[in-house]
Structures are given as C-alpha cells and as structure tokens.
Chains A and B, each alone.
Chain A
Amino acid sequence: MSLLQDQISHFVAPSGPAQNPWFSEQQLMRTMVWKRRIAYIDLTTGKIVTNSIPKRVRQLYLGGRGIDMYLLYNHVKPKVDPLSPENILFVGTGLLCGIPALGSGRCDIAAKSPLIGAVGDSNIGGFFGPELRLAGFDHLVISGKAEKPAYLWISDGSIEIRDADHLWGKDTFETQEMIRDDNKDEEVKCLAIGVAGENLVRFANVRSGMKNSAGRTGMGCVMGSKNLKAIAVRGTMDIEFSHPDELLDYCKEMNDMIMSTRWARAQSKWGTLIIYSNTNTTGLIRTRNFQLNRHEEGEDLEPENIDRYTIGMSGCYGCAVHCRHRYVLREGPHAPIFAEGPEYTSLGAFGTMVDCKKMETVLVANHLVNKYGLDTLETGGLIAWAMELYEKGIINEKDTAGLKLEWGNEEAIFDLITQIAHREGFGNLLADGFKNAIAKIGKGSDYYAIQVKGLSNLHSDERPTPSFALGIATSTRGADHLRSRPAIDLYGLPEDLLEEIYGAPVSSDYTSYQGKSRMVWWQELLYAVTDAIGVCKFQTVFCAVHAPNWEEFRRLIQLATGMGFLKAQLMEVGERICTIERMFNLREGFSRKDDALPERYFKEPTPIGFSVVRGKTIDRDRFEKMLDEYYALHGWNENGFPKKETLERLGIDREPSLMV
C-alpha cells in the first residue's frame, strides 16, 4: 500500500473525507468517464485519497473487470495471504454503467481469492453500480483492516468510514435495511456481507438488494477479513454522455435487438431456470454430484413449476429482459419466505447435484444461502461432494457429527448450510473450500471433487461438450462457466454462420473438438470486454447469435464516452484483460498443470441422456491439443506463459506500471 500511496501522494486530500471540491469544474472534461474518480481507502489508518483515472488506463482496460484486473496485478504484492490486511479489495463499475440498455448496472469486485489463491473476481448486477457512479466514483481500492466492524458511506463525492458494531451478526437483508433506516433514505444501495463473510467462510459472497450477489471466489470473505460489513452508496450527481440523443435511440435499438431473441422472451417469463428444460432433457446436468448426467425424477424442478410461487419478475438496472423471480413461500415448515431467485445455478446446487426432487427445497435453500451470504454454487458443490463421500463410506456419521448426508435429505442440507455459515461442526470443514477440505479428509476424496483450481464447477456436465470443458479448465478464476461458455455451441448452427462469427472454421457439432479452442478464446475475449463495460452477459452472444457483440459495444462506447474503438482494438482489450489475469495467476504459481479437468471427465463415460451425449468422456490427447491451440491463439507459450511479443503487442510488457 505504501508503494501505491507514494505514487499518488501529490493527490492527498487536505484532511478528513474527500469533499466535493475534488470535482472542480476546471478539471472536468466532457463525459462522465473522465469525471469519475478512483478512491483509495486505507481501513487501517482511515486515510482516504481520491484520484482521477488516466485516459490511457481507460483506453487499455475500459473499466469494471478490466481496470480491476489491472489494479489487482499492480497493487497486490505477490504471494500475500488473501486474508491479511495486505490483500486489497477492488470495486469497479463498468464503463457503460448507467445507460438504459443491456442491463448496464454491473459492477465488478476483485481481490486475491481466499478460496483458490488466484484471481478473485466476481460480477454483480442490480443497482449498486449506477448508484456508485451517481455518487461520483467508478473505482474503490480498499486496503488494510479496520480495527472494529465498519462500513463505508459514500455520497456525492465524499467517503466516510462509519462504525458498524450494530450491524455485525445481522444477515444480508437486515444489514441493508438497517443502513437505510440509519440514514433515513430508502434509495441507499449497499454491498453487504452476511454472517458467512464475518466468519471468514472462504466462499462467502457479497450481496446487494434482495437478489444480487457477487458470488464466486469469496469476495465476502475478503470483506470480512477487513472488518468491512458493508459499502453503502447514495448518489445524485449527473452521469453525462458524449452523445445523449443518439445514445437514447441506440439504446432503444439494443433493447429491441435483445428482446427479439427467443431466449430473452423465455427468460423474461421463467428466468434462467428455462435452461434446465433443455439441458436436463439432453443429459447435460450432473446429478448426484457426478454420478448421473440427467435428473430423472426432476419433474418438479421444471421451470413452469415455479409459477406456483412467483408473484412477478424483476429486473436489474437498465434491463428489458427482467429474468429474476420474486417468489413467496406461504406454506410448509420454513414459511413464510419472500425472496428473489432462484437462478439455474441454485436449481442445480440444491436440486440436481444433491438429488433433491422438489422445487420447494431449492427455494428454501436459495433463501438460506442468500441470507447468510454464501456462494450458492460452491455451497451446493461441496454438499454434493460430501454426500458422495458419505455414500462411498469415505466419511461417516461420526465425521459429520450426526448429519445423515444421504442423497436428497433436505433437512441435512439446510442444517449443513447453517453450519457452514456459522463454521460449526462438519460445516466448519467445508467452509474452507475444496482445497483445504480435501487435504483434511484425504482417503482419495479428491477424485470425487468436481472442481478446477479449487473452485466448484456449475452443475453442468461438460463431458459431451469439449468447448465447455476447455472453458472451465482455462478460466482464470477456477471452474467457471461465466468466463467463456459458448452456449450457442449447443444449437447446431450452420458452419458458415459460425465461421462468420468466430472468424475461422468451427464445427457445428457440439461433441466435436474441431475449432472449439477458437470458440472458447473468442468468447473469453468477448466476456472480458462485457465485464469491463459492465453489461449483462445474457444480453451478448451467450445464448443468442444475433445479440449485441463487438460492433454494438463499439458503437455504445462511442456514443456514451466519445472513445473510438475498432472491433480489432476492442478484441485486443479482451486479450489484454485475459493476459494480465494470466500473469497474476502465473505469479501466484499457477500454470498449465492447473488448466486441467477433474479425472472423472476422462475416466467415467456419461451413463444416460440422448444418444449423442451418452457414453462420452473427454479425450485426454485431444483435450491437450485444444489447450495448445488455445494458448497459441492467446499468444502464450506451451506452458501458458505469455510470449514477449504478445506482451509488447498488448502494451503490458512493463507491468506493473502503476498508472493509477
């Protein structure tokens, strides 16, 4: 941190919190991206410094995940303990945050992950991002550790560190409600952690509103380690755009474009649950941890069945799709519950993976993890793994302190979720994530863990789909579908169309390996830029071919900020973000050996499903070949190290450069 503050010492504010004069008119250029500031908050000393974001950094990394990754590589020292005050938490709004289209409210939270020890980065929708930008800030760099529980209060250019003693121990909903009450303002938006974050559960998430979570890689745990309970924001400043009238027209065009896809239409009715109908029928859902690839008795988990509980849909900021369910559970032992969700992810985490057959179980578990502030996917993945170990006799009732971890035992699942969040009993062991739990249990338990780099995989079964498998293996934050998943691979699109999109021949058969490395590489660049500009992945080429991508992003950036990019330049930004993440991971000791799949992908063929997906494993040789091709596309050598000329081409050969 001292290094960081040396760099910006000439920007030190006179005394106390940064005040409005920092936004003096002379400094302002035409659009909001040049006005929005970065704040360095040292929780140990209470020192707050704000700075502008140089144009060059914007051009190289745009914002959101891009700038966060640049800051992560620059400011987090190699090999720091993720739970020590030396780890730094970054919060960054996307470049286009605030436009009335494409779910533009997305915000990125990053730090070195306490769960995997590599890049920790998670994206959150909802309303926090735009509010932060309305309050005058685009990026927050939070270092050190508060002496006692604290929360940040950010409002129109000023930042305060406030006492959060009264909030400690409260769940994520209560915390936000209490902050709103304290400040007597209903419009305050928060990022908050629950008891899981306070108890340093390594996959604790950060929550905002009823539904939104920055779930993966344990960013809530990092907040907990800093005694930071919440970040509350209220902003009333203008967000200016360089071409407001044209932008308005183009946003309408974008919303029409996305709503013309059938996916978006289906999602506005059933949310992401709609994916279940397709993948379960085909046989692409891992069930009973990894024993089956279809939930055969899962009729109650079909998306239509949530209609019984739904009272309406809701949307994130600037989103026409509105894929979030608002649901009410009026009967049963856990009623009454009002909550939002669940996503497809929770449907797998507490439905298929643990072999539960009822929608109600998913709804209750979804509410529990949200209340405690746990990553739904990691929690479900770990419970499913423990259940398989229990079945195989690797652990028994003595190890689990009396919990009967039988498939589909919903009460055991609810109990275990509560135990994990409070770090009690058997839950305490799981609360440290796959890496530590495997080390403690031993006895070959690692074979049953469906994880990459220590992060649990989604409940999807990638054995029949090499492109998906390569994606989870190469993702910089561990097994993750949101880094590169080319969902359109499943559509069997004509090959000339695929060639037009990806720029080289790609097989239209989703079980083929041909061209799939290119597909993954292309999608990875697109999603990196999507996260950097802060729009929703569902409104890009994720599940619809004619959804917005490079050309549309280019135009939106131009109309909103005045920055001109060519498609090739935007793709280069994507490459830069992926490569700097890669460099961070290499520095932490990750390399090609970590871009691997769980052994079961190579050994156990898929037992059921459609004939095209039945009996499939990943072919090791062809997988390695795909990996080679993928590295070559990125300009990395065969061990996954970026080549010198790649770094020069991308302008990152002199990192860490500390431009901000």
Chain B
Amino acid sequence: MAAGLFYILVKLWPIAGLSQEARGALAAFAAAVFLWGTNSLPLAVTGVLVLFLLPMSGALPAKEVYAYFGSDAVFFILGALILASPVMRSGLSTRLALLAVRRFGERPRRLVATLLFTPALMSFFISEHAVVAMLFPLVVELVRAARARPGGRLGTVLFLALAWGAIIGGTATLLGGARAPLALGMLEAATGDRIGFMSWLLATLPVVFGLLLVALFLLWHLVPKGNAVSGLERYLEARVRALGPFSSREKKTLGLMLLVVALWIFFGETWGLGSVALFGVVLAFVIGVADWQEVEEDVNWGVFLMYGSAIALASALKATGAAAYLAEAIFQGVGYPFLALTGVVIMALFLTEAMSNAAAVAVLMPVALAVATTFGLSPEAVTLGVAMPAGLAFLLPVSTPAIAIVVGSGYVRPLEAFRYGFWLKLAGLVLFLGAAFLYWPWIGFGG
C-alpha cells in the first residue's frame, strides 16, 4: 500500500523540467526503493513489480525493459552461481578449509588468522554467503572441539573471523557477491563502459588486504596469546581422516575453476565475462562434475528477476533524465568531485547496513552514475565506489547473511558484532578513499 502511495505521489507531483517519462521512471524507482529498503516483498518480487511499472508508467516500452535481461552481467551471474554448485557439492571447499586449519591453526592466534584468511580466499571464487553457509558447521565443530563456552572470547572471535573474512574477501573479485556484476551490468547499460575481471581485482586488492590486516589486528586484540587449543588436534585428525583421499570430482572441480578463472582474466574482455562463465558451465557438465538436479537446488533463481529489473530501472532513470535530476537534488551544493565521490562511498557504506547489499547497489548506482557525469568523475571509479563499500556490511544482522548467521550462532552478541564491526567499517572507509584518490588514478581509474 505504502509503495503504491509512493508511486502515485511521485508520478503526480509536479516537478518542473521533468518529462512524463522521467516522472514515470522516478515513481517506479521510489516504489522499488521503499520495497527493497523495507523488505515488505521478496527482493525478486519487487523486481517483477519494477518490470510491470516501467512500461505502465510510460518510462520505457515493455520490449526495451525485457531486453535488459540479455545483459552480459546477468549471464555472468547465472554461470558463476551454477559453477559454485560443484565446488560446494564435491566437498572441495570443506577439505581445503580443514587442511588449512590443521596445518596452521593449532594455537588460538593462528587459528583465528586461518579462520579469517580461508573464507576470505574462498570468497574470491564463490559467493561469500555460500562460503559462510558452507563453513558455519565446521566452525561450530571447531568451537566445540576447542571447548569455547558461550559468552567466551574464543567463540566470539572465531565466529567473527569467519564472517569478516568472507565479507572482506567477497569484495575482491566479481565472484564474491552478485552485487559487483550487478553494478557492472548497470554501468554497461548506462555508459557502455566495462571493467575487466583482472582490472576489478587490481583495484580492490589493496583495500581487501588492508582490511584483512585491520580485522586480524582487532581479532588478535580480543584473543590472548596462548598455548595449543586443547582437543583441537585430535578432532582435526579424525575429521581429515574421515574425508578420505582427494576424490576425482574434487580434482576435476579444482582444475575447472582454475581454468575458468584464467579464461576470465585473459579472455574476459574479448569473449565477455558471461560467455566464459557459460563455457565453464558446459564444461562442468561435460566432464561430469556438475549435476542438474544439484544445480537446481543450489541456485536461487530469483536473483535474475531482481538483477534484470534493476538494470532496466537504472537504464530508464538514465535515459529519461530522472537520474540526473536525483543526483542534482541530492548533491546540490557539493562543489568538488572528491567530495561527491566521498559522499557516494559513505552512502553505500551505510545504506548497505539497512538493506541487502544488492538492493543498496540497485538503489545507489543510477544516482552515482549521474553524479559521475555531473562532476566529471570516472564512471568506473564511481561503480567501484558503490559496489565495493556496499559489500562491507559488518554492523547489523539485517545487513548481510554472514553477520546474521554468526549472531544466530549464540556465540556473538549483536552488540559485540556492532562494536567491533564499527572499527572495521571506519577502516574500510579510510582505506577505500585512500585507494580511490591515490591508487586508482595510477592504474587507470581516475578517482
């Protein structure tokens, strides 16, 4: 009801200089922001509503709206999510995590470092949310084996390491979360510009490693130095023995993922990221590591409805001039480009705490791209300025599944997640702005 009221109010409100089409796009945007922000409807259903509102409001013809589902970014997400299925099902990820913990994690501080860096590295290749869901049972077992008591420091730190590692690592590549491909899709639809797989990684790596070090420092500060964690070694031995030898499926999956990532790096620009992902999917079935029934259970197909509609919405806002109007209204009086970019980054960092990462990108990207035009900023820098901070949600359980899962564990109090996460958030802002103004111009993304 409230979303409908928003839609009607914005559609009928007389705004000087805005065409009927622009007002229609703005009205659809207002309804979507309300619904994505309040979660009154599932994210995908709001996407369906946008697909209906855009043609109905006269912002874009229906044929044009549906054509945005043909975006390279949408098929990249489809391929990446299907490819994640054999990684999870083969047991490869659990084996790698267990081996890392057994190799490095016999003392509390080293265990914390392993539990921070292992999910971070895994999130370079598959969705951070899937990594947390996959490693959560393992951390529960580790916490029990280490005899960490509820309310104790060790349990809190181990669960926080899992969540923080996955969240930070998930911002490094285009595979860690679907929000980065969504932002790329919106960038391409609005400007025709692209950011390659390797270029993205190059731009984000210093921030990711800087943040991982800050996170490690914070976690080490919470956990005292100590002797070997009693009971852990025996548990790990038994767990690794139970896994048995490296299976053929695990080996093939590892080989496939390495090949596909190499193709994204070397041929992503020429073939298109989506085409490489689809090639990887076909190969996964040909060599027998993927199973369609498993894929059907592992992929949340609603992602395509939301992403296709978000790209169409951004394009409608840009094409009708509504995005420029919004950017001007929000950033009126901001005289300097660096202040405008800082504003976008801060908005992304805090909006993502109140709504899902993807919704924050969908809401901010149209405005941010218009800000880039107004202030003469690089659209690529602005895209990074939305997509990466939108992934850095550390404060509230509503912000991201990783925090919700560890708070739900019974070992991390919501207030502790907020208090420690706040420092990480602040470090993220400083590191991100430092990279944007000092490092990105140097690698070709004018900040």
Same assembly: no
On B, residues with C-beta under 8 Å from A are none
On A, residues with C-beta under 8 Å from B are none
